Amino acid sequence: MKQSYCKTTIVILAILTTTQALFKGTPEDAKLNFTELGHKYGHRVEEYDVETEDGYILKLFHIPGKKKGPVLLVHGITNTADAFIIRGKKSLAITLADDDYDVWAGNTRGNRYGRRHTHLNPDIDKSFWDFSFHEAGYYDLAATIDFILNATGEKNLRSIGHSQGTTVHFVLMSTKPEYNEKIEIFIALAPVAFLNHLKPPLSTVLELGPIINLDFEDLGLEELFRDHDSATELMKILCSQGIIGLLCYLDVFSPLSGLDPKRVEPEFYEVIVGHTPAGTNRKTLVHFSQVSLNKRFAYYDYGLSKNLQRYGSSVPPSYDLGKVMARVALMVGKNDSVATVEDVDILRKKLSNVAGYYLLEPELWNHVDFVWANDMDVYLYPKIFSVLQKFEEHNACSNDI
Protein backbone atom coordinates (compact mmCIF):
# COMPACT_ATOMS: atom_id res chain seq x y z
CA MET A 1 0.00 0.00 0.00
CA LYS A 2 2.82 2.37 0.96
CA GLN A 3 4.73 1.57 -2.26
CA SER A 4 1.61 2.24 -4.35
CA TYR A 5 1.14 5.58 -2.58
CA CYS A 6 4.74 6.57 -3.36
CA LYS A 7 4.34 5.68 -7.03
CA THR A 8 1.11 7.69 -7.24
CA THR A 9 2.82 10.68 -5.61
CA ILE A 10 5.69 10.50 -8.10
CA VAL A 11 3.29 10.37 -11.06
CA ILE A 12 1.29 13.35 -9.77
CA LEU A 13 4.49 15.31 -9.17
CA ALA A 14 5.68 14.52 -12.69
CA ILE A 15 2.37 15.69 -14.19
CA LEU A 16 2.40 18.92 -12.18
CA THR A 17 6.01 19.63 -13.05
CA THR A 18 5.45 18.93 -16.74
CA THR A 19 2.43 21.25 -16.74
CA GLN A 20 4.52 23.93 -15.05
CA ALA A 21 7.17 23.50 -17.75
CA LEU A 22 4.66 23.95 -20.53
CA PHE A 23 3.52 27.28 -19.09
CA LYS A 24 6.99 28.44 -18.11
CA GLY A 25 8.59 27.58 -21.41
CA THR A 26 12.27 26.84 -21.92
CA PRO A 27 15.21 29.13 -22.74
CA GLU A 28 15.53 29.83 -26.44
CA ASP A 29 19.05 28.42 -26.64
CA ALA A 30 17.77 25.09 -25.34
CA LYS A 31 15.68 24.74 -28.51
CA LEU A 32 18.10 25.99 -31.17
CA ASN A 33 20.40 23.67 -33.11
CA PHE A 34 24.06 24.35 -33.92
CA THR A 35 23.35 26.32 -37.08
CA GLU A 36 20.67 28.44 -35.42
CA LEU A 37 22.91 29.17 -32.44
CA GLY A 38 25.73 30.16 -34.77
CA HIS A 39 23.49 32.64 -36.55
CA LYS A 40 22.19 34.02 -33.25
CA TYR A 41 25.73 34.73 -32.08
CA GLY A 42 26.86 36.44 -35.24
CA HIS A 43 28.24 33.78 -37.59
CA ARG A 44 27.26 32.07 -40.80
CA VAL A 45 27.19 28.29 -40.45
CA GLU A 46 27.54 25.79 -43.27
CA GLU A 47 26.35 22.19 -42.98
CA TYR A 48 27.90 19.18 -44.72
CA ASP A 49 27.29 15.45 -44.75
CA VAL A 50 30.33 13.27 -44.16
CA GLU A 51 30.05 9.65 -45.28
CA THR A 52 32.27 7.14 -43.52
CA GLU A 53 33.96 4.12 -45.08
CA ASP A 54 31.32 1.85 -43.51
CA GLY A 55 28.33 3.92 -44.64
CA TYR A 56 27.40 6.20 -41.71
CA ILE A 57 26.36 9.74 -42.61
CA LEU A 58 27.43 12.41 -40.12
CA LYS A 59 26.56 16.08 -39.96
CA LEU A 60 29.56 18.42 -39.98
CA PHE A 61 29.20 22.11 -39.11
CA HIS A 62 31.50 24.82 -40.44
CA ILE A 63 31.91 28.42 -39.31
CA PRO A 64 34.16 29.91 -42.02
CA GLY A 65 37.24 31.84 -40.98
CA LYS A 66 39.63 33.41 -43.48
CA LYS A 67 42.73 34.37 -41.51
CA LYS A 68 43.53 31.23 -39.53
CA GLY A 69 43.56 27.56 -40.46
CA PRO A 70 41.01 24.84 -39.68
CA VAL A 71 40.30 23.79 -36.11
CA LEU A 72 38.17 20.68 -35.53
CA LEU A 73 36.01 20.27 -32.40
CA VAL A 74 34.98 16.74 -31.32
CA HIS A 75 32.37 16.21 -28.59
CA GLY A 76 32.01 13.72 -25.74
CA ILE A 77 29.64 10.81 -25.09
CA THR A 78 25.85 11.44 -25.29
CA ASN A 79 26.69 14.86 -26.69
CA THR A 80 26.83 16.47 -30.13
CA ALA A 81 28.65 19.36 -31.76
CA ASP A 82 26.13 21.53 -29.88
CA ALA A 83 28.23 21.09 -26.73
CA PHE A 84 30.75 23.56 -28.13
CA ILE A 85 28.26 26.32 -28.92
CA ILE A 86 25.45 26.32 -26.34
CA ARG A 87 27.39 28.74 -24.09
CA GLY A 88 26.71 31.39 -26.72
CA LYS A 89 29.29 34.17 -26.88
CA LYS A 90 31.42 32.37 -24.29
CA SER A 91 31.32 29.02 -26.10
CA LEU A 92 34.50 27.64 -27.64
CA ALA A 93 33.08 27.53 -31.17
CA ILE A 94 32.01 31.19 -31.11
CA THR A 95 35.18 32.35 -29.34
CA LEU A 96 37.35 30.68 -31.97
CA ALA A 97 35.17 32.04 -34.77
CA ASP A 98 35.31 35.57 -33.31
CA ASP A 99 39.11 35.28 -33.53
CA ASP A 100 38.76 34.29 -37.20
CA TYR A 101 39.69 30.64 -36.89
CA ASP A 102 38.16 28.32 -39.48
CA VAL A 103 35.94 26.29 -37.14
CA TRP A 104 34.63 22.79 -37.90
CA ALA A 105 32.46 20.92 -35.39
CA GLY A 106 32.01 17.21 -36.00
CA ASN A 107 29.63 14.51 -34.82
CA THR A 108 30.06 10.80 -34.19
CA ARG A 109 27.64 8.04 -35.08
CA GLY A 110 24.58 7.46 -32.94
CA ASN A 111 23.72 10.98 -31.79
CA ARG A 112 20.97 13.20 -33.19
CA TYR A 113 23.25 14.37 -36.01
CA GLY A 114 24.52 10.85 -36.74
CA ARG A 115 21.45 8.61 -37.13
CA ARG A 116 21.75 8.08 -40.87
CA HIS A 117 23.34 5.39 -43.00
CA THR A 118 23.58 4.57 -46.68
CA HIS A 119 21.47 1.42 -46.27
CA LEU A 120 20.83 0.70 -42.56
CA ASN A 121 17.79 2.05 -40.74
CA PRO A 122 18.59 2.88 -37.08
CA ASP A 123 14.97 2.24 -36.10
CA ILE A 124 14.79 -1.33 -37.38
CA ASP A 125 18.33 -2.55 -38.13
CA LYS A 126 20.09 -3.76 -35.02
CA SER A 127 23.39 -3.83 -36.90
CA PHE A 128 23.31 -0.02 -37.17
CA TRP A 129 24.15 0.07 -33.43
CA ASP A 130 26.99 -2.44 -33.57
CA PHE A 131 29.75 0.05 -32.78
CA SER A 132 31.68 1.54 -29.87
CA PHE A 133 34.12 4.40 -29.49
CA HIS A 134 36.52 2.32 -31.59
CA GLU A 135 34.48 2.81 -34.78
CA ALA A 136 33.88 6.45 -33.86
CA GLY A 137 37.63 6.97 -34.02
CA TYR A 138 38.65 4.52 -36.73
CA TYR A 139 35.92 5.57 -39.19
CA ASP A 140 34.11 8.75 -38.08
CA LEU A 141 37.07 10.89 -37.06
CA ALA A 142 39.14 9.71 -40.02
CA ALA A 143 36.38 10.60 -42.51
CA THR A 144 35.79 13.97 -40.85
CA ILE A 145 39.47 14.94 -40.96
CA ASP A 146 39.77 13.87 -44.61
CA PHE A 147 36.66 15.85 -45.54
CA ILE A 148 38.01 19.04 -43.91
CA LEU A 149 41.46 18.73 -45.47
CA ASN A 150 39.95 18.09 -48.90
CA ALA A 151 37.62 21.07 -48.51
CA THR A 152 40.31 23.46 -47.32
CA GLY A 153 43.29 22.21 -49.31
CA GLU A 154 45.34 22.09 -46.10
CA LYS A 155 47.82 19.32 -45.30
CA ASN A 156 46.87 19.19 -41.62
CA LEU A 157 44.60 20.74 -39.04
CA ARG A 158 44.44 21.47 -35.32
CA SER A 159 41.99 19.42 -33.32
CA ILE A 160 40.31 19.88 -29.93
CA GLY A 161 38.45 16.99 -28.29
CA HIS A 162 36.53 16.67 -25.06
CA SER A 163 36.11 13.43 -23.07
CA GLN A 164 35.14 10.69 -25.56
CA GLY A 165 36.23 13.19 -28.20
CA THR A 166 39.76 12.60 -26.92
CA THR A 167 39.30 8.82 -26.76
CA VAL A 168 38.47 8.64 -30.46
CA HIS A 169 41.61 10.61 -31.29
CA PHE A 170 43.81 8.16 -29.41
CA VAL A 171 42.04 5.28 -31.18
CA LEU A 172 42.59 6.83 -34.62
CA MET A 173 46.21 7.85 -34.14
CA SER A 174 47.17 4.45 -32.73
CA THR A 175 45.33 2.35 -35.32
CA LYS A 176 45.92 4.53 -38.41
CA PRO A 177 49.32 6.12 -37.73
CA GLU A 178 49.21 8.05 -41.01
CA TYR A 179 46.67 10.39 -39.40
CA ASN A 180 49.31 11.67 -36.99
CA GLU A 181 50.67 13.75 -39.87
CA LYS A 182 47.22 15.19 -40.53
CA ILE A 183 46.89 16.54 -36.97
CA GLU A 184 49.31 19.38 -36.29
CA ILE A 185 48.37 19.66 -32.62
CA PHE A 186 45.72 17.85 -30.62
CA ILE A 187 44.33 19.64 -27.55
CA ALA A 188 42.79 17.04 -25.25
CA LEU A 189 40.23 18.48 -22.82
CA ALA A 190 39.53 16.04 -19.95
CA PRO A 191 41.33 13.22 -21.81
CA VAL A 192 39.86 9.74 -21.41
CA ALA A 193 41.93 6.64 -22.17
CA PHE A 194 42.35 5.03 -18.76
CA LEU A 195 39.60 4.73 -16.13
CA ASN A 196 41.57 3.11 -13.31
CA HIS A 197 40.91 5.62 -10.56
CA LEU A 198 37.19 6.32 -10.71
CA LYS A 199 35.19 6.87 -7.55
CA PRO A 200 31.54 6.16 -6.68
CA PRO A 201 28.97 6.55 -8.06
CA LEU A 202 30.58 6.37 -11.52
CA SER A 203 32.86 3.48 -10.56
CA THR A 204 29.83 1.61 -9.19
CA VAL A 205 27.89 2.12 -12.42
CA LEU A 206 30.80 0.78 -14.50
CA GLU A 207 31.30 -2.17 -12.14
CA LEU A 208 27.66 -3.07 -12.73
CA GLY A 209 28.19 -2.69 -16.47
CA PRO A 210 28.15 -6.43 -17.28
CA ILE A 211 24.89 -6.94 -15.37
CA ILE A 212 23.27 -3.86 -16.86
CA ASN A 213 24.43 -4.98 -20.29
CA LEU A 214 22.67 -8.34 -19.92
CA ASP A 215 19.47 -6.56 -18.91
CA PHE A 216 19.68 -4.26 -21.94
CA GLU A 217 20.31 -7.23 -24.23
CA ASP A 218 17.27 -9.05 -22.80
CA LEU A 219 15.17 -5.95 -23.45
CA GLY A 220 16.59 -5.55 -26.95
CA LEU A 221 17.94 -2.09 -26.13
CA GLU A 222 20.75 -1.00 -28.45
CA GLU A 223 20.12 2.75 -28.73
CA LEU A 224 20.18 4.65 -25.45
CA PHE A 225 19.02 8.18 -24.59
CA ARG A 226 17.49 8.58 -28.00
CA ASP A 227 16.76 12.15 -28.97
CA HIS A 228 13.01 12.88 -28.87
CA ASP A 229 12.29 9.52 -27.23
CA SER A 230 9.33 10.01 -24.88
CA ALA A 231 11.26 8.87 -21.80
CA THR A 232 14.22 11.10 -22.65
CA GLU A 233 11.98 14.06 -23.34
CA LEU A 234 10.14 13.60 -20.03
CA MET A 235 13.46 13.42 -18.22
CA LYS A 236 14.60 16.64 -19.92
CA ILE A 237 11.40 18.42 -18.95
CA LEU A 238 11.55 17.27 -15.34
CA CYS A 239 15.27 17.97 -14.96
CA SER A 240 14.86 21.56 -16.08
CA GLN A 241 12.24 22.45 -13.49
CA GLY A 242 12.51 23.75 -9.95
CA ILE A 243 13.30 21.34 -7.16
CA ILE A 244 13.39 18.31 -9.48
CA GLY A 245 15.92 20.08 -11.68
CA LEU A 246 18.04 20.73 -8.60
CA LEU A 247 17.83 17.06 -7.64
CA CYS A 248 18.86 16.02 -11.17
CA TYR A 249 21.87 18.32 -10.92
CA LEU A 250 22.92 17.21 -7.44
CA ASP A 251 22.06 13.50 -7.67
CA VAL A 252 22.91 12.69 -11.29
CA PHE A 253 24.78 15.42 -13.15
CA SER A 254 27.30 16.47 -10.48
CA PRO A 255 28.27 13.02 -9.13
CA LEU A 256 29.09 11.86 -12.67
CA SER A 257 31.22 14.88 -13.55
CA GLY A 258 32.33 16.43 -10.25
CA LEU A 259 30.36 18.94 -8.20
CA ASP A 260 31.04 22.56 -9.18
CA PRO A 261 27.80 24.54 -8.66
CA LYS A 262 29.49 27.89 -9.28
CA ARG A 263 30.20 27.29 -12.98
CA VAL A 264 26.93 25.81 -14.24
CA GLU A 265 24.20 28.13 -12.99
CA PRO A 266 20.54 26.95 -12.89
CA GLU A 267 19.51 29.05 -15.89
CA PHE A 268 22.21 27.52 -18.07
CA TYR A 269 21.53 24.04 -16.77
CA GLU A 270 18.15 24.31 -18.48
CA VAL A 271 19.97 24.97 -21.78
CA ILE A 272 22.19 21.92 -21.22
CA VAL A 273 19.17 19.71 -20.59
CA GLY A 274 17.69 20.89 -23.89
CA HIS A 275 20.69 19.47 -25.77
CA THR A 276 21.88 16.55 -23.64
CA PRO A 277 21.62 13.59 -23.67
CA ALA A 278 21.43 13.32 -27.44
CA GLY A 279 21.90 9.60 -27.92
CA THR A 280 24.47 6.84 -27.62
CA ASN A 281 24.38 3.04 -27.67
CA ARG A 282 24.78 0.03 -25.42
CA LYS A 283 28.06 -1.20 -26.90
CA THR A 284 29.87 2.10 -26.34
CA LEU A 285 28.96 2.12 -22.66
CA VAL A 286 30.01 -1.53 -22.35
CA HIS A 287 33.37 -0.73 -23.96
CA PHE A 288 34.06 2.03 -21.44
CA SER A 289 33.00 -0.35 -18.66
CA GLN A 290 35.56 -2.88 -19.93
CA VAL A 291 38.30 -0.22 -19.98
CA SER A 292 37.56 0.54 -16.34
CA LEU A 293 37.16 -3.03 -15.07
CA ASN A 294 40.18 -4.42 -16.94
CA LYS A 295 42.29 -1.32 -16.29
CA ARG A 296 43.46 -1.35 -19.90
CA PHE A 297 42.85 1.00 -22.81
CA ALA A 298 42.04 -1.87 -25.14
CA TYR A 299 39.90 -3.01 -28.04
CA TYR A 300 36.37 -4.28 -27.37
CA ASP A 301 36.24 -7.60 -25.48
CA TYR A 302 33.91 -10.01 -27.31
CA GLY A 303 34.68 -13.01 -25.11
CA LEU A 304 37.19 -15.83 -25.56
CA SER A 305 36.01 -17.44 -28.81
CA LYS A 306 35.22 -14.22 -30.69
CA ASN A 307 38.43 -12.59 -29.45
CA LEU A 308 40.40 -15.47 -30.93
CA GLN A 309 38.60 -15.02 -34.25
CA ARG A 310 39.00 -11.24 -34.35
CA TYR A 311 42.32 -10.63 -32.66
CA GLY A 312 44.06 -13.98 -32.65
CA SER A 313 44.31 -13.86 -28.86
CA SER A 314 42.06 -14.69 -25.93
CA VAL A 315 42.06 -11.07 -24.74
CA PRO A 316 41.72 -7.94 -26.87
CA PRO A 317 44.95 -6.05 -27.57
CA SER A 318 45.68 -2.71 -25.96
CA TYR A 319 45.73 0.36 -28.16
CA ASP A 320 49.38 1.09 -28.92
CA LEU A 321 49.74 4.64 -27.65
CA GLY A 322 53.38 4.54 -28.70
CA LYS A 323 52.12 5.08 -32.24
CA VAL A 324 50.53 8.40 -31.28
CA MET A 325 53.16 10.72 -32.74
CA ALA A 326 51.12 13.89 -33.17
CA ARG A 327 51.75 16.59 -30.59
CA VAL A 328 49.25 16.38 -27.73
CA ALA A 329 48.40 19.05 -25.16
CA LEU A 330 46.66 17.60 -22.09
CA MET A 331 44.27 19.80 -20.10
CA VAL A 332 43.08 18.39 -16.78
CA GLY A 333 40.66 19.34 -13.99
CA LYS A 334 41.51 18.72 -10.33
CA ASN A 335 37.90 17.82 -9.54
CA ASP A 336 37.21 15.77 -12.67
CA SER A 337 35.39 12.56 -11.69
CA VAL A 338 35.87 10.98 -15.13
CA ALA A 339 39.29 12.02 -16.44
CA THR A 340 41.01 11.93 -13.06
CA VAL A 341 44.44 13.45 -12.54
CA GLU A 342 45.81 9.97 -11.75
CA ASP A 343 44.48 8.42 -14.95
CA VAL A 344 45.69 11.29 -17.13
CA ASP A 345 49.14 10.79 -15.57
CA ILE A 346 49.08 7.18 -16.81
CA LEU A 347 48.20 8.42 -20.30
CA ARG A 348 50.84 11.15 -20.14
CA LYS A 349 53.60 8.62 -19.47
CA LYS A 350 52.57 6.48 -22.45
CA LEU A 351 52.50 9.34 -24.97
CA SER A 352 55.77 10.20 -26.66
CA ASN A 353 55.02 13.72 -27.87
CA VAL A 354 53.26 15.66 -25.09
CA ALA A 355 53.40 19.31 -26.12
CA GLY A 356 52.03 20.58 -22.82
CA TYR A 357 50.32 19.53 -19.59
CA TYR A 358 47.90 21.99 -18.04
CA LEU A 359 46.21 21.49 -14.66
CA LEU A 360 43.34 23.97 -14.40
CA GLU A 361 43.77 26.25 -11.38
CA PRO A 362 40.26 26.15 -9.83
CA GLU A 363 40.05 23.39 -7.22
CA LEU A 364 36.52 22.43 -8.29
CA TRP A 365 37.09 22.44 -12.06
CA ASN A 366 35.25 19.31 -13.27
CA HIS A 367 34.62 17.20 -16.36
CA VAL A 368 31.96 19.38 -18.00
CA ASP A 369 33.55 22.70 -17.08
CA PHE A 370 35.81 22.25 -20.13
CA VAL A 371 32.81 22.90 -22.40
CA TRP A 372 30.23 24.64 -20.20
CA ALA A 373 31.82 26.63 -17.37
CA ASN A 374 30.76 30.25 -17.20
CA ASP A 375 34.39 31.34 -16.74
CA MET A 376 36.09 29.28 -19.48
CA ASP A 377 37.34 32.57 -20.89
CA VAL A 378 39.29 33.18 -17.67
CA TYR A 379 40.82 29.79 -16.90
CA LEU A 380 40.67 27.63 -20.03
CA TYR A 381 40.77 29.72 -23.19
CA PRO A 382 44.09 31.44 -22.45
CA LYS A 383 45.68 27.98 -22.37
CA ILE A 384 43.97 26.82 -25.56
CA PHE A 385 44.86 29.98 -27.45
CA SER A 386 48.43 29.85 -26.15
CA VAL A 387 48.84 26.38 -27.65
CA LEU A 388 47.19 27.37 -30.94
CA GLN A 389 49.29 30.54 -31.16
CA LYS A 390 52.48 28.60 -30.53
CA PHE A 391 51.89 26.46 -33.59
CA GLU A 392 50.81 29.42 -35.71
CA GLU A 393 54.16 31.05 -34.93
CA HIS A 394 55.96 27.76 -35.63
CA ASN A 395 54.31 27.58 -39.07
CA ALA A 396 55.13 31.20 -39.82
CA CYS A 397 58.81 30.60 -39.01
CA SER A 398 58.83 27.47 -41.15
CA ASN A 399 57.33 29.35 -44.10
CA ASP A 400 59.98 32.09 -43.78
CA ILE A 401 62.85 29.64 -44.00
Q: At what angle do helices 2-24 and 230-238 cross, to 10 degrees?
A: 80
Provide long-range contacts, Cβ within 8 A and 24+ apart, for 145-151: 145/72, 145/179, 145/182, 145/183, 146/182, 147/48, 147/50, 147/60, 148/60, 148/70, 148/72, 148/104, 149/70, 149/182, 151/48, 151/62
- CA 312 to CA 220: how far, in whole Å? 29
The answer to whether 75 is a known catalytic residue is: no
Active site residue 163: yes
Q: How far apart are CA 399 and CA 246, in angstroms?
A: 54
| DSSP three-state, residue 184 | strand
Cα–Cα distance, 346 to 355 (Å, whole number): 16
Distances (CA, A) of 97 to 103, 170, 299, 394: 6, 26, 36, 21
Supply φ then ψ for residue 58, to 5 degrees: -120, 140
- DSSP letter assigned to residue 366: -
Strands 223-224 vs 183-189: parallel, antiparallel or unpaired:
unpaired
Helical residues (DSSP H) of 295-380, grouped into ranges: 304-311, 341-350, 369-372, 376-379
Alpha carbon 177 to its chain centroid, in Å, reads 22
Contact 329, 387 (CB under 8 A): yes
Which residue in the list 163, 174, 240, 337 is annotated as catalytic? Answer: 163
Nearest partner of 359 among 377, 332, 340, judged by Cα: 332
Question: Smallest Cα–Cα separation from 148: which of 159, 163, 133?
Answer: 159
Q: Cα-flanking dihedrals φ and ψ of residue 63, to 5°?
A: -105, 105
Strands 116-117 and 56-63, how do they pair?
antiparallel
Cα 384 to Cα 398: distance, rounded to the nearest angstrom = 22
Catalytic site residue from 43, 162, 169, 367: 367
DSSP state of 159: E
- Positions marked catalytic: 163, 367
